[in-house]
Chains A and B, each alone.
Chain A
Amino acid sequence: MTLYTHILTQILISVVSVAGVFVLTGMTGMFSLGQAAFMAIGAYTSGILVTKLSAPIYLAWPAGVVLAVAVGFIVGLPTVRLRRDYISLVTLGFGEAITALLNRTTALTGGASGLTGIPKVTTLWSALVSAVLVITLISLFKNSKYGRQCIAVRSDELAAKSMGINVPKVKMIAFLISVAVTAYGGCLYAFYTAYVDPSLFGWKKSAEWVIMVFFGGVNSLTGSVLSTFVLSGLPEVLRFLQNYRAIIYAVLVLLIINFKPAGLLGEWELTPRNLRRIIARGRRVQQPKGVN
Protein backbone atom coordinates (compact mmCIF):
# COMPACT_ATOMS: atom_id res chain seq x y z
CA MET A 1 0.00 0.00 0.00
CA THR A 2 1.37 3.39 -0.89
CA LEU A 3 1.70 6.25 1.53
CA TYR A 4 -1.07 8.14 -0.22
CA THR A 5 -3.63 5.36 0.10
CA HIS A 6 -2.72 5.19 3.76
CA ILE A 7 -3.19 8.92 4.26
CA LEU A 8 -6.39 8.97 2.24
CA THR A 9 -7.88 6.09 4.23
CA GLN A 10 -7.10 7.82 7.50
CA ILE A 11 -8.62 11.06 6.25
CA LEU A 12 -11.78 9.26 5.15
CA ILE A 13 -12.11 7.68 8.59
CA SER A 14 -11.73 11.15 10.11
CA VAL A 15 -14.41 12.42 7.74
CA VAL A 16 -16.84 9.91 9.24
CA SER A 17 -16.18 11.13 12.78
CA VAL A 18 -16.20 14.81 11.85
CA ALA A 19 -19.51 14.34 10.06
CA GLY A 20 -20.87 13.03 13.35
CA VAL A 21 -19.52 16.04 15.20
CA PHE A 22 -21.08 18.28 12.56
CA VAL A 23 -24.58 17.13 13.58
CA LEU A 24 -23.90 17.97 17.20
CA THR A 25 -21.72 21.05 16.98
CA GLY A 26 -22.37 22.53 13.56
CA MET A 27 -26.10 22.00 13.43
CA THR A 28 -27.19 21.96 17.06
CA GLY A 29 -24.54 24.18 18.63
CA MET A 30 -23.54 21.71 21.33
CA PHE A 31 -19.98 20.83 22.18
CA SER A 32 -18.89 17.38 23.23
CA LEU A 33 -15.36 17.25 24.57
CA GLY A 34 -15.70 13.54 25.18
CA GLN A 35 -16.71 12.64 21.65
CA ALA A 36 -13.47 10.73 21.13
CA ALA A 37 -14.44 8.56 24.09
CA PHE A 38 -17.46 7.36 22.11
CA MET A 39 -15.10 6.55 19.29
CA ALA A 40 -13.13 4.56 21.85
CA ILE A 41 -16.25 2.67 22.92
CA GLY A 42 -16.94 1.74 19.30
CA ALA A 43 -13.33 0.76 18.66
CA TYR A 44 -12.79 -1.22 21.86
CA THR A 45 -16.16 -2.98 21.93
CA SER A 46 -15.87 -4.21 18.36
CA GLY A 47 -12.19 -4.96 18.80
CA ILE A 48 -12.65 -6.97 21.98
CA LEU A 49 -15.62 -8.87 20.60
CA VAL A 50 -13.61 -9.94 17.59
CA THR A 51 -10.25 -10.63 19.25
CA LYS A 52 -11.40 -12.14 22.54
CA LEU A 53 -14.73 -13.73 21.62
CA SER A 54 -14.08 -14.24 17.92
CA ALA A 55 -17.41 -12.68 17.10
CA PRO A 56 -18.09 -11.99 13.43
CA ILE A 57 -17.55 -8.42 12.32
CA TYR A 58 -21.13 -7.89 11.17
CA LEU A 59 -22.19 -8.41 14.79
CA ALA A 60 -19.21 -6.78 16.50
CA TRP A 61 -19.43 -3.43 14.74
CA PRO A 62 -23.16 -2.88 15.36
CA ALA A 63 -22.58 -3.97 18.97
CA GLY A 64 -19.94 -1.24 19.32
CA VAL A 65 -22.29 1.38 17.91
CA VAL A 66 -25.25 0.25 20.02
CA LEU A 67 -23.24 0.23 23.24
CA ALA A 68 -21.92 3.73 22.49
CA VAL A 69 -25.46 4.98 21.86
CA ALA A 70 -26.70 3.38 25.10
CA VAL A 71 -23.90 5.00 27.09
CA GLY A 72 -24.50 8.26 25.23
CA PHE A 73 -28.13 8.17 26.33
CA ILE A 74 -27.10 7.91 29.98
CA VAL A 75 -24.55 10.70 29.63
CA GLY A 76 -27.01 12.90 27.75
CA LEU A 77 -30.01 12.34 30.01
CA PRO A 78 -29.13 14.78 32.81
CA THR A 79 -27.65 17.36 30.46
CA VAL A 80 -30.09 17.93 27.61
CA ARG A 81 -32.51 19.79 29.85
CA LEU A 82 -29.81 22.15 31.12
CA ARG A 83 -27.87 24.89 29.44
CA ARG A 84 -25.36 23.86 26.85
CA ASP A 85 -22.34 24.29 29.08
CA TYR A 86 -23.33 21.17 30.95
CA ILE A 87 -23.00 18.79 28.03
CA SER A 88 -19.47 20.04 27.38
CA LEU A 89 -18.45 19.77 31.03
CA VAL A 90 -20.08 16.39 31.50
CA THR A 91 -18.68 14.88 28.31
CA LEU A 92 -15.22 16.14 29.25
CA GLY A 93 -15.52 14.31 32.58
CA PHE A 94 -16.87 11.32 30.70
CA GLY A 95 -13.85 11.25 28.41
CA GLU A 96 -11.49 11.24 31.39
CA ALA A 97 -13.51 8.49 33.04
CA ILE A 98 -13.42 6.31 29.92
CA THR A 99 -9.67 6.80 29.53
CA ALA A 100 -9.20 5.80 33.18
CA LEU A 101 -11.42 2.78 32.72
CA LEU A 102 -9.57 1.63 29.61
CA ASN A 103 -6.22 2.05 31.34
CA ARG A 104 -7.42 0.09 34.31
CA THR A 105 -9.19 -2.92 32.83
CA THR A 106 -5.97 -4.45 31.54
CA ALA A 107 -7.24 -8.01 31.23
CA LEU A 108 -9.90 -6.93 28.77
CA THR A 109 -8.50 -3.87 27.02
CA GLY A 110 -4.76 -4.35 27.32
CA GLY A 111 -4.57 -1.25 29.52
CA ALA A 112 -2.14 1.50 28.64
CA SER A 113 -0.25 -0.74 26.23
CA GLY A 114 -3.35 -1.03 24.11
CA LEU A 115 -5.48 -3.62 22.40
CA THR A 116 -3.58 -5.50 19.73
CA GLY A 117 -4.31 -8.17 17.18
CA ILE A 118 -7.42 -6.61 15.70
CA PRO A 119 -7.82 -7.94 12.16
CA LYS A 120 -7.16 -5.40 9.44
CA VAL A 121 -10.45 -5.24 7.60
CA THR A 122 -10.94 -1.60 6.66
CA THR A 123 -9.58 -0.73 3.23
CA LEU A 124 -9.49 2.48 1.29
CA TRP A 125 -12.65 1.39 -0.46
CA SER A 126 -14.66 0.46 2.60
CA ALA A 127 -13.57 3.73 4.20
CA LEU A 128 -14.69 5.60 1.09
CA VAL A 129 -18.05 3.82 0.98
CA SER A 130 -18.55 4.49 4.69
CA ALA A 131 -17.72 8.17 4.31
CA VAL A 132 -20.06 8.60 1.35
CA LEU A 133 -22.84 6.72 3.15
CA VAL A 134 -22.46 8.76 6.33
CA ILE A 135 -22.36 12.04 4.42
CA THR A 136 -25.51 11.04 2.54
CA LEU A 137 -27.35 10.12 5.74
CA ILE A 138 -26.37 13.34 7.43
CA SER A 139 -27.24 15.57 4.51
CA LEU A 140 -30.63 13.85 4.42
CA PHE A 141 -30.91 14.51 8.14
CA LYS A 142 -29.97 18.16 7.75
CA ASN A 143 -32.90 18.71 5.40
CA SER A 144 -35.38 16.78 7.50
CA LYS A 145 -37.70 17.97 10.22
CA TYR A 146 -35.25 17.10 12.98
CA GLY A 147 -32.41 18.70 11.08
CA ARG A 148 -34.35 21.95 10.88
CA GLN A 149 -35.23 21.70 14.53
CA CYS A 150 -31.56 21.21 15.41
CA ILE A 151 -30.70 24.43 13.61
CA ALA A 152 -33.61 26.19 15.31
CA VAL A 153 -32.37 25.00 18.70
CA ARG A 154 -28.88 26.22 17.95
CA SER A 155 -30.19 29.60 16.92
CA ASP A 156 -32.67 30.25 19.73
CA GLU A 157 -33.79 27.65 22.24
CA LEU A 158 -36.47 29.80 23.75
CA ALA A 159 -38.11 30.66 20.45
CA ALA A 160 -37.84 26.99 19.46
CA LYS A 161 -39.78 25.94 22.56
CA SER A 162 -42.41 28.57 21.80
CA MET A 163 -42.92 26.99 18.39
CA GLY A 164 -43.69 23.62 19.95
CA ILE A 165 -40.23 22.13 19.51
CA ASN A 166 -39.32 19.61 22.20
CA VAL A 167 -35.83 21.00 22.80
CA PRO A 168 -34.42 18.29 25.10
CA LYS A 169 -35.62 15.60 22.68
CA VAL A 170 -34.06 17.31 19.67
CA LYS A 171 -30.78 17.76 21.54
CA MET A 172 -30.81 14.10 22.54
CA ILE A 173 -31.47 12.95 18.97
CA ALA A 174 -28.62 15.09 17.66
CA PHE A 175 -26.32 13.83 20.40
CA LEU A 176 -27.13 10.16 19.81
CA ILE A 177 -26.79 10.40 16.02
CA SER A 178 -23.39 12.00 16.43
CA VAL A 179 -22.41 9.37 19.00
CA ALA A 180 -23.48 6.56 16.68
CA VAL A 181 -21.56 7.97 13.72
CA THR A 182 -18.46 8.63 15.81
CA ALA A 183 -18.58 5.13 17.27
CA TYR A 184 -18.82 3.73 13.76
CA GLY A 185 -15.75 5.80 12.91
CA GLY A 186 -14.10 4.08 15.88
CA CYS A 187 -14.86 0.64 14.43
CA LEU A 188 -13.41 1.67 11.08
CA TYR A 189 -10.33 3.04 12.82
CA ALA A 190 -9.65 0.03 15.04
CA PHE A 191 -10.00 -2.40 12.14
CA TYR A 192 -7.70 -0.27 10.02
CA THR A 193 -4.78 0.35 12.37
CA ALA A 194 -5.27 -3.08 14.03
CA TYR A 195 -4.28 -1.46 17.29
CA VAL A 196 -5.85 1.02 19.72
CA ASP A 197 -4.70 2.48 23.01
CA PRO A 198 -6.41 4.88 25.43
CA SER A 199 -4.17 7.85 24.66
CA LEU A 200 -5.67 8.11 21.16
CA PHE A 201 -9.04 9.20 22.52
CA GLY A 202 -8.29 12.19 24.75
CA TRP A 203 -10.06 15.53 24.77
CA LYS A 204 -7.65 16.93 22.21
CA LYS A 205 -9.04 14.60 19.58
CA SER A 206 -12.55 15.86 20.32
CA ALA A 207 -11.30 19.44 20.25
CA GLU A 208 -9.66 18.81 16.88
CA TRP A 209 -12.98 17.67 15.42
CA VAL A 210 -14.76 20.74 16.73
CA ILE A 211 -12.08 22.88 15.16
CA MET A 212 -12.51 21.14 11.81
CA VAL A 213 -16.25 21.72 11.85
CA PHE A 214 -15.80 25.41 12.60
CA PHE A 215 -13.03 25.88 10.14
CA GLY A 216 -15.25 24.60 7.35
CA GLY A 217 -18.32 26.61 8.22
CA VAL A 218 -20.76 26.37 11.09
CA ASN A 219 -23.69 25.31 9.01
CA SER A 220 -22.04 23.55 6.12
CA LEU A 221 -21.48 19.81 5.94
CA THR A 222 -19.57 20.38 2.72
CA GLY A 223 -17.30 22.73 4.63
CA SER A 224 -16.71 20.23 7.43
CA VAL A 225 -15.74 17.50 4.99
CA LEU A 226 -13.53 19.85 3.04
CA SER A 227 -11.75 21.14 6.12
CA THR A 228 -11.17 17.58 7.34
CA PHE A 229 -9.34 16.91 4.11
CA VAL A 230 -7.34 20.12 4.31
CA LEU A 231 -6.55 20.11 8.02
CA SER A 232 -5.75 16.44 8.43
CA GLY A 233 -4.19 16.11 5.00
CA LEU A 234 -1.83 19.05 5.23
CA PRO A 235 0.37 17.82 8.10
CA GLU A 236 0.48 14.35 6.51
CA VAL A 237 1.74 15.68 3.22
CA LEU A 238 4.04 18.29 4.71
CA ARG A 239 5.78 16.06 7.22
CA PHE A 240 7.87 18.82 8.78
CA LEU A 241 4.65 20.47 9.95
CA GLN A 242 3.69 17.43 12.02
CA ASN A 243 4.95 18.87 15.32
CA TYR A 244 3.26 22.20 14.73
CA ARG A 245 -0.07 20.61 13.87
CA ALA A 246 -1.97 21.72 16.98
CA ILE A 247 -0.53 25.22 16.82
CA ILE A 248 -1.32 25.65 13.13
CA TYR A 249 -4.91 24.53 13.69
CA ALA A 250 -5.30 26.90 16.58
CA VAL A 251 -3.89 29.90 14.76
CA LEU A 252 -6.03 29.21 11.69
CA VAL A 253 -9.19 28.96 13.77
CA LEU A 254 -8.39 32.08 15.77
CA LEU A 255 -7.95 33.93 12.48
CA ILE A 256 -11.25 32.58 11.21
CA ILE A 257 -13.11 33.47 14.39
CA ASN A 258 -11.75 36.98 14.40
CA PHE A 259 -12.10 37.77 10.73
CA LYS A 260 -14.56 35.36 9.11
CA PRO A 261 -16.71 33.95 11.89
CA ALA A 262 -18.98 32.00 9.55
CA GLY A 263 -16.09 29.69 8.62
CA LEU A 264 -14.71 28.96 5.17
CA LEU A 265 -17.96 28.11 3.47
CA GLY A 266 -20.46 29.61 5.94
CA GLU A 267 -23.78 28.00 5.12
CA TRP A 268 -22.98 27.02 1.55
CA GLU A 269 -23.64 23.39 0.65
CA LEU A 270 -22.67 21.41 -2.42
CA THR A 271 -26.16 20.62 -3.67
CA PRO A 272 -27.10 19.78 -7.27
CA ARG A 273 -28.71 23.21 -7.54
CA ASN A 274 -25.64 25.08 -6.30
CA LEU A 275 -23.46 22.92 -8.51
CA ARG A 276 -25.50 23.85 -11.59
CA ARG A 277 -25.14 27.48 -10.61
CA ILE A 278 -21.36 27.21 -10.46
CA ILE A 279 -21.19 25.44 -13.79
CA ALA A 280 -23.44 28.02 -15.38
CA ARG A 281 -21.25 30.79 -14.04
CA GLY A 282 -18.16 28.97 -15.32
CA ARG A 283 -19.61 28.76 -18.82
CA ARG A 284 -20.45 32.42 -18.83
CA VAL A 285 -16.87 33.24 -17.95
CA GLN A 286 -15.47 30.91 -20.60
CA GLN A 287 -17.56 32.22 -23.46
CA PRO A 288 -16.24 35.56 -24.62
CA LYS A 289 -18.96 38.08 -25.36
CA GLY A 290 -18.12 38.36 -29.03
CA VAL A 291 -19.21 34.77 -29.76
CA ASN A 292 -22.95 35.41 -29.67
Chain B
Amino acid sequence: MALLKVEHIYKSFGGVKAIQDFSIEANRGEIHGIIGPNGAGKTTIFNVISGIYPADEGKVLLDGKDITRMEQHLISREGMGRTFQNIRLFKGLSVLDNTMCAFDPRSRYGVPGSLLPLPKRYAEEKRGREICMGYLKMVGLESYAQEKPENMSYGYRRRLEIARALTCEPKVLLLDEPAAGLNPVEVGELTELILRLSRELGFAILLIEHRLELVMNISQIIHVQNFGKTIASGTPGQVRSDPGVIEAYLGKEEC
Protein backbone atom coordinates (compact mmCIF):
# COMPACT_ATOMS: atom_id res chain seq x y z
CA MET B 1 0.00 0.00 0.00
CA ALA B 2 1.16 3.53 -0.74
CA LEU B 3 2.46 5.44 2.28
CA LEU B 4 0.89 8.66 1.08
CA LYS B 5 -2.11 8.78 -1.16
CA VAL B 6 -3.57 12.13 -2.11
CA GLU B 7 -6.78 11.84 -4.09
CA HIS B 8 -8.09 14.74 -6.15
CA ILE B 9 -7.68 17.58 -3.67
CA TYR B 10 -8.98 21.07 -4.36
CA LYS B 11 -8.34 24.25 -2.45
CA SER B 12 -9.26 27.81 -3.22
CA PHE B 13 -8.87 31.08 -1.34
CA GLY B 14 -11.68 33.40 -2.26
CA GLY B 15 -11.59 33.35 -6.02
CA VAL B 16 -8.05 32.03 -6.32
CA LYS B 17 -7.95 28.34 -7.16
CA ALA B 18 -4.68 27.38 -5.51
CA ILE B 19 -5.01 23.65 -6.07
CA GLN B 20 -7.19 22.00 -8.67
CA ASP B 21 -7.40 18.25 -8.71
CA PHE B 22 -4.01 17.27 -7.32
CA SER B 23 -3.28 13.58 -6.79
CA ILE B 24 -0.17 11.73 -5.81
CA GLU B 25 0.79 8.26 -4.67
CA ALA B 26 4.11 7.89 -2.91
CA ASN B 27 5.63 4.63 -1.73
CA ARG B 28 8.35 3.68 0.71
CA GLY B 29 11.76 4.85 -0.44
CA GLU B 30 10.45 7.08 -3.21
CA ILE B 31 11.32 10.72 -3.73
CA HIS B 32 8.71 12.81 -5.52
CA GLY B 33 9.60 16.22 -6.82
CA ILE B 34 7.01 18.95 -7.18
CA ILE B 35 8.10 21.78 -9.43
CA GLY B 36 6.49 24.74 -11.07
CA PRO B 37 6.75 28.50 -11.31
CA ASN B 38 6.01 30.83 -8.40
CA GLY B 39 2.38 30.88 -7.37
CA ALA B 40 1.70 27.46 -8.83
CA GLY B 41 0.26 26.29 -5.52
CA LYS B 42 3.12 24.03 -4.48
CA THR B 43 3.37 25.12 -0.86
CA THR B 44 -0.42 25.09 -0.60
CA ILE B 45 -0.29 21.39 -1.49
CA PHE B 46 2.03 20.83 1.49
CA ASN B 47 -0.15 22.96 3.72
CA VAL B 48 -3.21 20.92 2.82
CA ILE B 49 -1.43 17.57 3.21
CA SER B 50 -0.01 18.55 6.60
CA GLY B 51 -3.35 19.90 7.78
CA ILE B 52 -2.69 23.65 8.00
CA TYR B 53 -5.59 24.26 5.63
CA PRO B 54 -8.48 21.86 5.23
CA ALA B 55 -8.98 20.64 1.67
CA ASP B 56 -12.15 21.86 -0.05
CA GLU B 57 -12.53 18.50 -1.71
CA GLY B 58 -10.62 15.26 -2.00
CA LYS B 59 -8.85 12.95 0.39
CA VAL B 60 -5.45 12.53 1.97
CA LEU B 61 -4.49 9.05 3.18
CA LEU B 62 -1.40 8.47 5.29
CA ASP B 63 -0.42 4.81 5.42
CA GLY B 64 -4.03 3.91 4.65
CA LYS B 65 -5.53 6.21 7.28
CA ASP B 66 -7.74 9.11 6.26
CA ILE B 67 -6.14 12.28 7.67
CA THR B 68 -8.03 14.82 5.55
CA ARG B 69 -9.98 16.39 8.40
CA MET B 70 -7.59 15.65 11.25
CA GLU B 71 -6.04 18.33 13.42
CA GLN B 72 -2.57 19.43 12.45
CA HIS B 73 -0.73 18.11 15.50
CA LEU B 74 -2.44 14.72 15.21
CA ILE B 75 -1.46 14.47 11.55
CA SER B 76 2.12 15.06 12.60
CA ARG B 77 1.85 12.31 15.19
CA GLU B 78 0.44 9.93 12.58
CA GLY B 79 3.80 10.24 10.83
CA MET B 80 4.01 13.44 8.84
CA GLY B 81 7.15 15.51 9.08
CA ARG B 82 7.77 18.73 7.26
CA THR B 83 10.10 21.67 6.81
CA PHE B 84 9.21 25.20 5.81
CA GLN B 85 10.20 27.34 2.87
CA ASN B 86 11.04 30.26 5.17
CA ILE B 87 12.80 28.36 7.96
CA ARG B 88 10.59 28.27 11.05
CA LEU B 89 12.77 27.17 13.95
CA PHE B 90 11.89 27.90 17.56
CA LYS B 91 13.68 31.00 18.81
CA GLY B 92 14.75 30.81 22.42
CA LEU B 93 15.54 27.08 22.29
CA SER B 94 18.88 25.43 21.64
CA VAL B 95 19.50 23.21 18.62
CA LEU B 96 18.92 20.11 20.71
CA ASP B 97 15.77 21.54 22.31
CA ASN B 98 14.39 22.41 18.88
CA THR B 99 14.50 18.73 18.00
CA MET B 100 13.35 17.72 21.49
CA CYS B 101 10.12 19.63 20.84
CA ALA B 102 9.31 17.15 18.11
CA PHE B 103 10.00 14.27 20.49
CA ASP B 104 8.09 15.74 23.44
CA PRO B 105 4.61 14.76 22.24
CA ARG B 106 5.78 11.13 22.52
CA SER B 107 7.57 11.63 25.84
CA ARG B 108 5.87 9.57 28.52
CA TYR B 109 5.53 11.92 31.45
CA GLY B 110 2.89 14.49 32.25
CA VAL B 111 2.35 17.77 34.07
CA PRO B 112 3.39 16.43 37.52
CA GLY B 113 6.63 15.17 36.00
CA SER B 114 7.17 18.58 34.43
CA LEU B 115 6.96 20.36 37.76
CA LEU B 116 8.65 17.83 40.03
CA PRO B 117 11.96 15.99 39.86
CA LEU B 118 10.44 12.55 39.30
CA PRO B 119 12.70 9.69 38.12
CA LYS B 120 10.38 8.93 35.17
CA ARG B 121 11.00 12.44 33.86
CA TYR B 122 14.76 12.09 33.83
CA ALA B 123 14.56 8.68 32.19
CA GLU B 124 12.33 10.03 29.45
CA GLU B 125 14.45 13.15 28.97
CA LYS B 126 17.50 10.94 28.57
CA ARG B 127 15.71 8.71 26.06
CA GLY B 128 14.62 11.80 24.13
CA ARG B 129 18.09 13.31 24.10
CA GLU B 130 19.58 10.09 22.76
CA ILE B 131 17.00 9.89 19.98
CA CYS B 132 17.44 13.55 19.09
CA MET B 133 21.23 13.36 19.15
CA GLY B 134 20.91 10.45 16.75
CA TYR B 135 18.99 12.59 14.27
CA LEU B 136 21.30 15.56 14.78
CA LYS B 137 24.21 13.25 13.99
CA MET B 138 22.42 12.06 10.87
CA VAL B 139 22.34 15.62 9.53
CA GLY B 140 25.81 16.38 10.88
CA LEU B 141 24.91 18.83 13.65
CA GLU B 142 25.72 16.72 16.70
CA SER B 143 28.53 19.04 17.80
CA TYR B 144 26.21 22.07 17.69
CA ALA B 145 23.59 20.65 20.04
CA GLN B 146 23.89 23.48 22.59
CA GLU B 147 24.13 26.31 20.07
CA LYS B 148 21.32 28.76 19.41
CA PRO B 149 19.91 28.26 15.92
CA GLU B 150 19.92 32.04 15.36
CA ASN B 151 23.71 31.94 15.45
CA MET B 152 24.07 29.26 12.80
CA SER B 153 24.48 29.58 9.06
CA TYR B 154 21.53 29.28 6.75
CA GLY B 155 22.59 25.85 5.56
CA TYR B 156 22.86 24.52 9.11
CA ARG B 157 19.48 25.92 9.98
CA ARG B 158 17.97 24.10 7.02
CA ARG B 159 19.57 20.90 8.26
CA LEU B 160 18.27 21.49 11.75
CA GLU B 161 14.78 21.82 10.32
CA ILE B 162 15.25 18.47 8.64
CA ALA B 163 16.52 16.91 11.89
CA ARG B 164 13.50 18.31 13.71
CA ALA B 165 11.16 16.86 11.09
CA LEU B 166 12.96 13.51 11.37
CA THR B 167 12.39 13.50 15.13
CA CYS B 168 8.67 13.31 14.40
CA GLU B 169 9.54 9.83 13.05
CA PRO B 170 7.69 10.51 9.84
CA LYS B 171 6.41 8.01 7.33
CA VAL B 172 6.18 10.87 4.88
CA LEU B 173 8.62 13.76 4.83
CA LEU B 174 7.66 17.03 3.15
CA LEU B 175 10.61 19.22 2.22
CA ASP B 176 9.64 22.72 1.10
CA GLU B 177 12.49 24.21 -0.95
CA PRO B 178 15.28 22.83 1.23
CA ALA B 179 17.97 24.22 -1.08
CA ALA B 180 16.72 27.80 -1.16
CA GLY B 181 19.48 30.20 -0.15
CA LEU B 182 22.23 27.56 -0.15
CA ASN B 183 25.51 27.83 -2.03
CA PRO B 184 26.48 25.16 -4.60
CA VAL B 185 28.64 23.18 -2.14
CA GLU B 186 25.82 23.13 0.40
CA VAL B 187 23.35 22.06 -2.29
CA GLY B 188 25.61 19.12 -3.10
CA GLU B 189 25.77 18.10 0.55
CA LEU B 190 22.02 18.48 0.88
CA THR B 191 21.40 16.28 -2.16
CA GLU B 192 23.51 13.57 -0.62
CA LEU B 193 21.77 13.95 2.71
CA ILE B 194 18.31 13.58 1.18
CA LEU B 195 19.37 10.51 -0.79
CA ARG B 196 20.94 8.94 2.28
CA LEU B 197 17.88 9.61 4.45
CA SER B 198 15.64 8.13 1.83
CA ARG B 199 17.84 5.03 1.66
CA GLU B 200 18.34 4.56 5.40
CA LEU B 201 14.97 5.56 6.81
CA GLY B 202 12.83 4.29 3.97
CA PHE B 203 10.07 6.85 4.13
CA ALA B 204 8.43 8.65 1.24
CA ILE B 205 9.77 12.12 0.49
CA LEU B 206 7.92 14.92 -1.24
CA LEU B 207 10.20 17.69 -2.37
CA ILE B 208 9.33 21.16 -3.58
CA GLU B 209 12.30 22.73 -5.27
CA HIS B 210 13.16 25.49 -7.67
CA ARG B 211 16.56 24.10 -8.63
CA LEU B 212 15.67 21.80 -11.45
CA GLU B 213 19.00 19.98 -11.48
CA LEU B 214 18.48 18.93 -7.85
CA VAL B 215 14.95 17.67 -8.43
CA MET B 216 15.82 15.95 -11.68
CA ASN B 217 18.77 14.19 -10.08
CA ILE B 218 17.12 12.69 -7.07
CA SER B 219 13.40 12.30 -7.78
CA GLN B 220 11.90 9.16 -9.23
CA ILE B 221 8.71 10.95 -10.18
CA ILE B 222 8.16 14.60 -10.90
CA HIS B 223 4.90 16.53 -10.79
CA VAL B 224 4.79 19.83 -12.63
CA GLN B 225 2.31 22.39 -11.31
CA ASN B 226 1.16 25.52 -13.06
CA PHE B 227 -1.65 27.82 -11.89
CA GLY B 228 -2.87 25.19 -9.45
CA LYS B 229 -3.09 22.41 -12.01
CA THR B 230 -0.84 19.44 -12.59
CA ILE B 231 0.34 19.84 -16.16
CA ALA B 232 2.56 16.79 -16.25
CA SER B 233 3.82 14.00 -14.08
CA GLY B 234 6.24 11.18 -14.71
CA THR B 235 9.90 10.30 -14.60
CA PRO B 236 12.44 13.11 -15.00
CA GLY B 237 13.03 12.01 -18.58
CA GLN B 238 9.35 12.11 -19.50
CA VAL B 239 8.82 15.47 -17.84
CA ARG B 240 11.86 17.02 -19.47
CA SER B 241 10.55 16.30 -22.93
CA ASP B 242 6.93 17.24 -22.20
CA PRO B 243 5.95 20.13 -24.50
CA GLY B 244 3.52 21.55 -21.89
CA VAL B 245 6.28 21.75 -19.32
CA ILE B 246 8.69 23.45 -21.69
CA GLU B 247 5.99 25.96 -22.49
CA ALA B 248 5.24 26.67 -18.85
CA TYR B 249 8.88 27.17 -18.01
CA LEU B 250 10.22 28.86 -21.11
CA GLY B 251 7.13 30.30 -22.72
CA LYS B 252 5.97 29.45 -26.22
CA GLU B 253 8.76 29.17 -28.72
CA GLU B 254 8.41 31.80 -31.32
CA CYS B 255 10.41 30.32 -34.15
Contacts and interface: CB of A to CB of B under 8 A. Distances in A.
Interface of A: 137, 140-141, 144-149, 151-152, 154-156, 158-167, 173, 177, 218-219, 267
B107 A145 contact: yes
Given A149-B101, A165-B73, A166-B73, A159 B114 contact: no
Interface of B: 50-52, 71-74, 76-77, 82, 84, 88-93, 97, 100-102, 104-107, 109, 111, 113-117, 121, 124-125, 128, 164-165, 167-168
B152 to A, nearest CB: 16
Given A145-B124, A155-B93, 10 more contacts: A141-B115, A144-B113, A144-B114, A146-B104, A146-B114, A151-B92, A155-B92, A161-B52, A164-B74, A167-B73
A165 B168 CA distance: 10
Question: Which residue among B82, B111, B124 has the maximum number of chain A CB atoms within 10 Å of its CB?
Answer: B111
A162 B90 contact: no
B93 A146 contact: no
B104 A149 contact: yes
B119 to A, nearest CB: 14
16 contacts: A137-B115, A140-B114, A144-B115, A144-B121, A145-B100, A145-B114, A145-B125, A149-B104, A151-B92, A155-B90, A155-B92, A161-B72, A162-B72, A163-B73, A164-B73, A167-B73
B111 A163 contact: no
A38 B134 CA distance: 44
A137 B115 CA distance: 5
Contact of B115 (A140, A152, A167, A218): A140
A97 B68 CA distance: 41
A200 B152 CA distance: 47
A160 B114 contact: no
Given A140-B114, A162-B50, A155 B91 contact: yes
A284 B124 CA distance: 38
Q: Name the prevailing secondary structure of the B interface residues.
A: helix
A218 B106 CA distance: 28
A201 B116 CA distance: 30
A16 to B, nearest CB: 15
B82 A162 contact: yes
Given A140-B116, A159-B88, A219-B92, A148 B76 contact: no
A164 B90 contact: no
A152 to B, nearest CB: 4
Contacts of B114: 140-141, 144-147
Nearest to B117: A140
A140 B117 CA distance: 7
A220 to B, nearest CB: 10
A163 B101 contact: yes
A152 B93 contact: yes
A146 B101 CA distance: 9
Given A140-B116, A144-B113, A146-B111, A165 B92 contact: no
A49 B100 CA distance: 44
Chain A to chain B: the 7 pairs with minimum beta-carbon distance, closest first: A144-B114, A164-B76, A159-B88, A145-B104, A164-B105, A161-B72, A163-B102
Contacts of B128: 145
Contact of B90 (A144, A145, A160, A166): A160
B175 to A, nearest CB: 13
B50 A152 contact: no
Contacts of B104: 145-146, 148-149, 165
Contacts of A154: 92
A161 B77 CA distance: 10
Given A152-B93, A155-B93, A159-B88, A165 B105 contact: yes
A166 B101 CA distance: 11
A140 to B, nearest CB: 6
Given A152-B101, A164-B73, A167-B73, A267 B117 contact: no
Instruction: Among A145, A160, A177, find the residue whose CB has the most chain B CB atoms closer than 10 A.
Output: A145
Contact of A165 (B101, B117, B165): B101
